[in-house]
Amino acid sequence: MNELILLLLRGLAVTVELTVVAAALAIIIALSAGLARMSRRRAMAWSAAVYIEVFRGTSALVQLFWFYFVLPFFGIEVSAFTAGTLVLALNTGAYGAEVVRGAVLAVPRGQLDASAALNLNRLQTLWRIVLPQAFPAMLPPAGNLAIELMKNSALVSLITITELTFAAQLLRAETLRSAEIFGLVLVLYFAVALLITAGVRLLERRASHGLERGGA
Amino acid sequence: MIFDWPYAWEILPRLAEGLVVTLQATILGMTVALSLGLALALARRSRYRLLAWPTGALVEFIRSTPLLVQIYFLFYVLPDTGVRLSPLATGVLALGLHYAAYCSEVYRAGLESVPKGQWDAAIALNLGRWRMMKDVIVPQAIPPVVPALGNYLIAMFKDTPLLSAITVLEMLQVAKLAGAESFRYIEPLTLVGVVFLLLSLVSAAGVRWVEGRLRLEG
């Protein structure tokens, strides 16, 4: 019995690893795509928009199978883990880009005028003025996206990655104790979700320090 | 390797059959979600703590755990308890339950946005709790949240491929089978992606249109 529990815990570790790696990638993607979407350069704004619409408009599982089964036909061999991480990151990043855009647009225009008056260049304005103020407003939706990402990570069990859900399937085949196994797995996922929520709350409290608007 | 149009054309009718199942699952699942979601929202607001608190906990639990695991749970556990359902029915139930939790939060926002005066007026008119909800509060709570519910309809539509995991022959499963037969995955999987994209974009435009109409009336 202990061995079986160990299998689940090892699966849980993979689920957490997938979620953390994909979330880190998704943050980078969301910031780049969100900012590119608002760019004055048409081509850039347009490609970002296409990426966002395609990944928000199709199913995450379809994207996963596409990356896993179709890419090899183009000569791109990716491991299941890479395909899984990449799709989770790209999918979440597309939703995140809209979060970034919304938060940046919510920064009052006066801040931009003030930056121009202070002779800051565009990069300085973005990095020192706009993003720090937009950040607190991004956190609550980003927390929700992190939980969505964690939940979506269960999908990669369908391309044979031995994460929590796949481990549960293996266990079930061995013991046939479906109710206990899947019940326990649901509780484990719930616990991770609670941890994410608590973490984001903590960040929110810190980020809203010294700000009069946005955030918590 | 290039996209093989004749082959894509050949598998289109099969994919269309899969699409019918996908749409069936979406419509039936949403019917469950809309009705059960309203019940959950009302139960969560109940005066009886013993009803309100567990409902709240259940909604949070369902929202925070993966739909795929919930699907497996129902698929494997229901038969053990003597309930025999087809894979499609199990899938519809799982989709319905999962999205009922999301919809209940939307309804809750709608209920909270009904002005306090309406509740007071219903009490002043001596309406019973049931009639107050049915004739005064709920009819005012729902129209403003229709766009939000529409977005969950689109989200559910995009989640129907998960039913392929329990052997439902929806569009993705059909595409995978076609791919396995011919060893060509580009055409079936790309077509499925395109169909999802087109239908999502069209439905999103529909939701925006409803939103605009509501704003005009409101």
Q: Which residues of B touch A189 (CB under 8 A)?
A: 64-66, 69
- What ranges do the domains of chain B cover? 10-217
Cα dihedral value A104, A107, A112, A113, nearest 10: 150
Q: What is the CATH number of domain A13-161?
A: 1.10.3720.10
C-alpha pair distances (Å), B142 with each of B103, B106, B118, B134, B151: 11, 9, 14, 11, 14
pLDDT given for residue A1 in this prediction: 65
Q: What value of ipTM does the predicted structure carry?
A: 0.92
- Closest CA–CA distance from residue A172 to any residue of chain B (Å): 9
Category of A22 on φ-ψ map: left (φ > 0), alpha (ψ -120 to 50) or beta: alpha
The tokens for B21 are 């199942």
Contacts of B82 (CB under 8 A, 6+ apart): none
As a whole number of angstroms, the distance between CA A201 and CA A197 comes to 6
pLDDT tens per residue across span A100-120:
999 999 999 999 999 999 999
Category of B167 on φ-ψ map: left (φ > 0), alpha (ψ -120 to 50) or beta: left
pLDDT given for residue A77 in this prediction: 86
User: Collapsing DSSP states into helix, strand and coil, what is residue B125?
Assistant: coil
pTM: 0.93
Confidence band for A215, pLDDT divided at 50, 70 and 90: very low
pLDDT tens per residue across span B147-182:
999 999 999 999 999 999 999 999 999 999 999 999
Most B CBs within 10 Å: which of A157, A186, A188, A195, as the mutation test of the B interface? A186
As a whole number of angstroms, the distance between CA A8 and CA A166 comes to 9
Largest CA distance in chain B: 73
Eight-state DSSP code of residue A75 = T
Q: What is the identity of the amino acid at A98? A: E
- What ranges do the domains of chain A cover? 13-161
User: Collapsing DSSP states into helix, strand and coil, what is residue B171?
Assistant: helix
Query: What average pLDDT does this structure show over A80-100?
Result: 97
pLDDT given for residue A2 in this prediction: 74
Contacts of A207 (CB under 8 A, 6+ apart): A135, A136, A139, A215
pLDDT given for residue B81 in this prediction: 93
**B10-217 homologous superfamily:** MetI-like (1.10.3720.10)
Residues of A with CB under 8 A from a CB of B: 53-54, 56-63, 65-66, 69-70, 73-74, 147, 150-155, 157-158, 165, 168-169, 172, 178-179, 182-183, 185-186, 189-190, 193-194
Which stretches in chain B have pLDDT values below 50?
Answer: none
As a whole number of angstroms, the distance between CA B192 and CA B188 comes to 6
As a whole number of angstroms, the distance between CA B159 and CA B154 comes to 9
pLDDT given for residue B142 in this prediction: 93
CB-neighbour burial class of residue A76 (10 A; exposed 0-12, middle 13-18, buried 19+): exposed
**Is there a contact between B161 and A61 if contact means CB atoms under 8 Å apart?**
yes
pLDDT at A213 over 70: no
CB-neighbour burial class of residue B6 (10 A; exposed 0-12, middle 13-18, buried 19+): exposed
Report yes or no: B104 and B57 within 8 Å, Cβ to Cβ: no
Report yes or no: B63 and A148 within 8 Å, Cβ to Cβ: no
